[in-house]
Structure 1
């Protein structure tokens, strides 16, 4: 009896515990490329490692790349018991094997994948029985024949056979016999291009009836597009068919992959005249919507169509910057009524690609207007009120509007309906006690909406009040609101402000982003006296800026005189100008990828605006490197006097007086001028070539140390670091004076090989990553730079730029840089407008806009945005802090140093990862107050 009870307890414990540790490779905080917890590698572990971009049930698995050594773990199994080994394996020109061995090494279970199963996840199981010992070993071999290819392992578990027998057998997916698209041919608008899943079979996989197994967008059975437009799939049903619905199966939710914005479905008999049937994203989420931040496979489907056609086209719109993926599309067969009495949303005779682009844009603008209607409707709880009824009528008018084609991204949208919607806000202003036009104080860093206004008892009087040094730029802001029922002409003039104050009034131009978000960012200078027209129900924001005043220190007072219809408003202006003068060249290195050179017609204007917010360390790509280099058999440069430096020289001339000139390396990683990495000739060639570049710096009167070189962008794996070492070791031995830049993206930097950091002169971690990872990440880099003398810079590369908070994302980085002892601040990117060269028509772009200011082709509007102003004021803040730090060091005033530390801590308190987007709610006045306090301490 006791023996039976002991066996029962042993089996129960085995059932409760996971026999294989971390067999699904989901242990938290595992670095990419690292050996996952629970597993050991015999001998050299190179090539074995955790990955998070391919797996069976999610994105994680264990990869073996060209390594014959064994991954294993010790396991305990009950004696003389039947078990089943479950596993999933992917074979890419390797020969993977999985096995279980007893204590003596005898093989109890094994499975070796056959060569005919390639590049797909294979699920297998092996039954086995244990002997009289509990100790066993689970072994994984990437290639049991020779070290080549790639093998991946996932979902490894060992289960008691008795429990396995209770599991239901998996049922194969049911083929929909009503699917008219099954095995039919189709064509693409833009060809699929996502490199991890694109293959020759893309032309059949969407209608083959098969489904992707494994992490969706890294499987060859998936079809994927990345930054490609238009994503159109047109299926030929071979004859006119009754159609009642359609489906599109995809995945998203992680790794920057977002769900599609829309999937519009069309039908036609001749591909000339088309019918719009509906949007699967709208129709297919009536019952359930996928979580935007959780990975899953989801099918958008509907059976609400009643139409017919031979050709069915799917037009999918991806969120800018995101990929879009699909493994199967279906067209559902309808009944006779679909042929006899077809219906559709719209019919048109025009090229499908032109139509769908216009309709996608229409959807964005309709969403923008609908959001305004919903926002304003909430202000009128009485359903019978006039404004409530007006808004309901306007929604019906919008629903019946066939197509909105805007001229630009400026708000209001250039159709009469939008201004009518906004005018309803005048009712709300009057209910809040505002019968006449009025001016009021706003926080200039907030994303102030056209329809914002304060309650009358909460109104703060408008004023411009600035405390600053000479030769810098600071601003303040106010808004003017129009509660009347008509557009309001507003005339503005200034009094009491001399030329030496360099005062400028700027109007905030409201715009909308490709995601339909309203943005109060663009700053357009106004000539004074000047006039603007404020639409009914709207509030316009104005910035009063002092652009590097040269006046003597003192307090200056003036006013803006505003004639708003019949109302006269006086807005006081006060400037407190300190005795201190801001340096012409700030101490901080400021830069970013500037794509302005892509559009030569506006290149100088872009450089001018970048210099205006202190960009002094421009970046270029490898196209500026000298061309036509020739080397002899030993690697010596034989034509140094004939190298083509035209692009390099032009770049230097475009940026006279820059502090640094930075180049990002995008050369082939395994060879240099066709010489393989690692040879003696390769090492000689590297030194000769880069010494020639340094010598060219001499001809421009520049120091060689002013040249900064990024060898590999954002390394985050051991593999990437091995590439860096294979080049940098030789470059370091070459005796070069140029400086080497490193921007690693290890979320746990302590897991990186320390010596790789030391190969560089500058280390530049990612600020949003630091905010997300917290104190350990921050302290690692502070201590690294303190211990090694490596210089610390910070950078950010999120987007879209105008949707990022001016304080938390843009300006706050400079305060972090000071607090950490950093010397440089960088952003991706400047002048980047997603591929079309205009911020004013960015609805036509395929990529994300990363630029902090507003770009336009030719002599169009090149304007500062609040984001670029935030960079400028952040650089000025940093200089303030340096000056106060210098004062502390010179006076050895401990109390003053304590005050400085307190101010910095207070400034950084709202700079968190939760506040990086402009939709966040927090006190954006903190940094202004902290900068003013620093200036006060400096002036004492």
Structure 2
């Protein structure tokens, strides 16, 4: 009898949760924007979301519905057929930032009885889920206690894609419900959703920051149970405040994390915890500058390679992790004493101090990435770790062993750290042999704001190949027969090129992608051939007049041409140029549906091939001047595993050039949620260009490439001289093979490339001594 009473009580108090019906099952819905992701879009999209079948939100599965790019805000509206009692909504989605896929930034729910007026019910994205690996998750909005016939889900993309597998509306078909008066018209919903985005974005960002704190406490659980318990209780209270946030704060993302007042309170609680554990107020640790770092990595001691060893004329990197183990913000003054090289004192001007700012990549991923120059002061929020980054410029320094001292001082704390590095007699070439392009167009906002700073930054990162995009190339005026009626004006092109005077190779992109000039050859159109012939002759003549030789420039007709465009645009354009001037060069990116077999018919028509990295390794590239390029270079990518890695790929595959999309762009460089996420490797500031760990890692990779080439050349020279069987040459060949394979096979290891760099230098020093 007691058991029966208990069962009745459970049903009464949990009735709707236990017996709630999926009211959306088999119900129709409409889209504001038709699904457009090719991997899963099909006719089934019209029923997939309410068919009751869960397939895991995999974007290659036709049961998933997906969108790519386009409007940030898109809606799905379900018609339940009658006014029903609504208790809960469920929304299943997938994410994996390795594939640039994230959960939506927000999924706002609006309810209506008549399809004319609506009210806001809440946001389905209310949890912090790790998006850095493949994740399928069902988000839930519970406890609604409302009614509706029409359920609108306003999705806000959190990156490039939105994917959803199934939507459930849980409740009951209650009889006798009458329509309610609601405050939003259909037209007002979009603006209402837009107004809520900053607050919801800050909510989900703070939940992620809170999650990092909670994860860090979990690691401490066995050490300081009482302090951990107290900190967890405080964080739980903060979670309630985060979920109840009613207004968005104005955030300056250049300051780095913590972004909001609630974030600062999270770090303060972590500072309270650290103080309770008896740690020193300021913790200072030497760190591997390339290792990942999170705000609460207090004990981060990622193994750095052996003491830094450098070539002359290259840059080197050192780092210290500084933790504020108090409950108050900490202001530190930082000074670097002059370097000591034996008994010789060297000014510290060759050392640049920077703070690695925590930025937020889409998918709410925090990265210590932006390298903000320091002017002697560093602020560390309570409970957080920040990284002090040292860039060493060996230009002008003599070979030798150097010792430096860095001093940190606050109101109640101080510390002194010694660092050492060695500069070998081996010299980085003043002009690297590798061709480097990062599509650093000078019309982007940061380049317009600071053209000299951008030019200097590009030069110091070895970017020696640049594009002149179509709008800056000269336009012609011609009559109906194709005769030019006036000389072309090259002033816009010349002014553009003058911004980057140290460019080694200019790539002139004619923009046949859009055919604005109506001049690429087409069969049966004599006028096009005539104007293109004249245009090419005049451009080549102008380049010669400016002092450029044939090796200093190349034409490219279209970006990433398909097989069809290769036949219809690239081939006739290249054949015409060959007839006009066979010495003029052609540079082409190769991507999409091109294969080794399809490219065979273009032998002899392309001088410099630049395939996408996915097409490396083909036999077709043998004995050709081959570069390669990649994209997807957003701020969440690993500095060493993505950027530095590219240059080791280049050496492995015998490439003589490399590029990636992109140096900078027109997106907000600090805030990935302000619109389309940025691919930029630099940030803007009132004082000019701010570098990143990713950009510094790419530069280190170029220096790695040159070291690899120096070793290879030394081995070839020795063999040519009949000395290939010496122990030194055999050891050098073994080291070259070993480290190239290790770097490529351990791309996620942030230490291996630096270890290889040092090993190669040691071999080159030995070889130089044996000559």
In the superposition, the TM-score normalised over structure 1's length comes to 0.65
Question: How many Å separate the matches in 2 of 1:698 and 1:626?
Answer: 16
2:188 matches 1:356? no
Q: Which one of the candidate residues 109, 125, 136 is aligned to 1:265?
A: 109
Measure how far apart 1:844 and its partner are.
0.5
Residue 938 and residue 532 in structure 1: after superposition, are their counterparts in 2 closer, same or farther (change >3 A)?
farther
2:768 matches 1:936? no
Tell me if structure 1 keeps the 8 A contact 2:608–2:625. yes
Question: How many Å separate the matches in 1 of 2:451 and 2:40?
Answer: 36
2:321 matches 1:479? yes
Deviations 1:209-246 (A, max 9, x none): 9999xx99999x98955232222457899998754566
Question: How many Å separate the matches in 1 of 2:629 and 2:462?
Answer: 16
Question: How many Å separate the matches in 2 of 1:198 and 1:906?
Answer: 42
Q: Secondary structure at the match of 2:328?
A: coil
Question: How many Å separate the matches in 2 of 1:487 and 1:262?
Answer: 32
The residue that corresponds to 1:667 in the other structure is 512
Question: How many Å separate the matches in 1 of 2:52 and 2:729?
Answer: 64
Residue 580 and residue 926 in structure 1: after superposition, are their counterparts in 2 closer, same or farther (change >3 A)?
closer
More helix per residue: 2
Measure how far apart 1:316 and its partner are.
0.8
Q: Secondary structure at the match of 1:844?
A: coil
Tell me if structure 2 keeps the 8 A contact 1:240–1:308. yes
Tell me if structure 1 keeps the 8 A contact 2:644–2:701. yes
Q: Which one of the candidate residues 676, 680, 696 is aligned to 1:869?
A: 696
Residue 492 and residue 671 in structure 1: after superposition, are their counterparts in 2 closer, same or farther (change >3 A)?
closer
Q: Which one of the candidate residues 809, 812, 824 is aligned to 2:657?
A: 824
Residue 533 and residue 552 in structure 1: after superposition, are their counterparts in 2 closer, same or farther (change >3 A)?
same
Q: Which one of the candidate residues 506, 509, 512 is aligned to 2:354?
A: 506
2:631 matches 1:785? no
Question: How many Å separate the matches in 2 of 1:303 and 1:486?
Answer: 38
Residue 277 and residue 563 in structure 1: after superposition, are their counterparts in 2 closer, same or farther (change >3 A)?
closer
Question: How many Å separate the matches in 1 of 2:379 and 2:127?
Answer: 38
Question: How many Å separate the matches in 1 of 2:260 and 2:704?
Answer: 42
The residue that corresponds to 1:845 in the other structure is 675
Measure how far apart 1:658 and its partner are.
0.6
Question: How many Å separate the matches in 1 of 2:256 and 2:484?
Answer: 60
Question: How many Å separate the matches in 1 of 2:697 and 2:750?
Answer: 17
Aligned pairs for 1:131-170 (under 5 A) are: none
Question: How many Å separate the matches in 2 of 1:672 and 1:511?
Answer: 42
Uncovered stretches (5+) of structure 2, i.e. residues with no partner: 1-20, 340-345
Residue 672 and residue 738 in structure 1: after superposition, are their counterparts in 2 closer, same or farther (change >3 A)?
same
Aligned pairs for 1:332-731 (under 5 A) are: 334-335=173-174, 351-381=191-221, 385-401=226-242, 402=245, 403-405=247-249, 406-408=251-253, 410-426=255-271, 434-454=279-299, 466-497=308-339, 498-499=346-347, 502-527=350-375, 530-599=376-445, 600-630=448-478, 633=481, 637-639=483-485, 641-668=486-513, 673=518, 677-679=522-524, 681=526, 682-715=528-561, 717=563, 720-721=566-567, 723-731=569-577
Q: Secondary structure at the match of 2:581?
A: coil
The residue that corresponds to 1:901 in the other structure is 733
Measure how far apart 1:906 and its partner are.
3.3
Q: Secondary structure at the match of 2:111?
A: strand
Tell me if structure 2 keeps the 8 A contact 1:794–1:813. no
Measure how far apart 1:491 and its partner are.
2.2
Measure how far apart 1:761 and its partner are.
0.9
The residue that corresponds to 1:745 in the other structure is 591
Higher Rg of the two aligned structures: 1
Measure how far apart 1:923 and its partner are.
4.3
Tell me if structure 2 keeps the 8 A contact 1:660–1:707. yes
Tell me if structure 1 keeps the 8 A contact 2:629–2:660. yes
The residue that corresponds to 2:154 in the other structure is 315
Tell me if structure 2 keeps the 8 A contact 1:226–1:324. no
Measure how far apart 1:381 and its partner are.
2.7
The residue that corresponds to 1:135 in the other structure is none
Question: How many Å separate the matches in 1 of 2:177 and 2:229?
Answer: 39
Measure how far apart 1:713 and its partner are.
3.0
Residue 210 and residue 728 in structure 1: after superposition, are their counterparts in 2 closer, same or farther (change >3 A)?
farther
Q: Secondary structure at the match of 2:204?
A: helix
Question: How many Å separate the matches in 1 of 2:166 and 2:522?
Answer: 40
Tell me if structure 2 keeps the 8 A contact 1:883–1:938. no
Residue 875 and residue 222 in structure 1: after superposition, are their counterparts in 2 closer, same or farther (change >3 A)?
closer
The residue that corresponds to 2:609 in the other structure is 763
Question: How many Å separate the matches in 2 of 1:393 and 1:207?
Answer: 43
Measure how far apart 1:318 and its partner are.
2.5
Q: Secondary structure at the match of 1:803?
A: coil
Kindly indicate whether structure 1 or structure 2 has the higher relative contact order, using CA contacts under 8 Å at least 6 residues apart.
2
Question: How many Å separate the matches in 1 of 2:636 and 2:737?
Answer: 26
Uncovered stretches (5+) of structure 1, i.e. residues with no partner: 1-175, 771-776
Question: How many Å separate the matches in 2 of 1:266 and 1:315?
Answer: 8
Tell me if structure 1 keeps the 8 A contact 2:110–2:118. no
Q: Secondary structure at the match of 2:422?
A: strand
Tell me if structure 2 keeps the 8 A contact 1:501–1:546. no
Residue 539 and residue 680 in structure 1: after superposition, are their counterparts in 2 closer, same or farther (change >3 A)?
same
Of stretches 420-429 and 733-742 in structure 1, the one that deviates more from structure 2 is 420-429
Residue 545 and residue 742 in structure 1: after superposition, are their counterparts in 2 closer, same or farther (change >3 A)?
same
Q: CA RMSD in A?
A: 4.9
Deviations 1:125-180 (A, max 9, x none): xxxxxxxxxxxxxxxxxxxxxxxxxxxxxxxxxxxxxxxxxxxxxxxxxxx99669
Q: Secondary structure at the match of 1:614?
A: coil
Question: How many Å separate the matches in 2 of 1:922 and 1:317?
Answer: 38
2:699 matches 1:855? no
The residue that corresponds to 2:10 in the other structure is none
Question: How many Å separate the matches in 1 of 2:49 and 2:306?
Answer: 66
Q: Secondary structure at the match of 1:648?
A: helix
Measure how far apart 1:738 and its partner are.
3.0
Measure how far apart 1:660 and its partner are.
0.8
Q: Which one of the candidate residues 696, 706, 723 is aligned to 1:879?
A: 706
Residue 663 and residue 328 in structure 1: after superposition, are their counterparts in 2 closer, same or farther (change >3 A)?
farther
Q: Secondary structure at the match of 2:443?
A: helix
2:658 matches 1:815? no
Tell me if structure 1 keeps the 8 A contact 2:406–2:416. yes
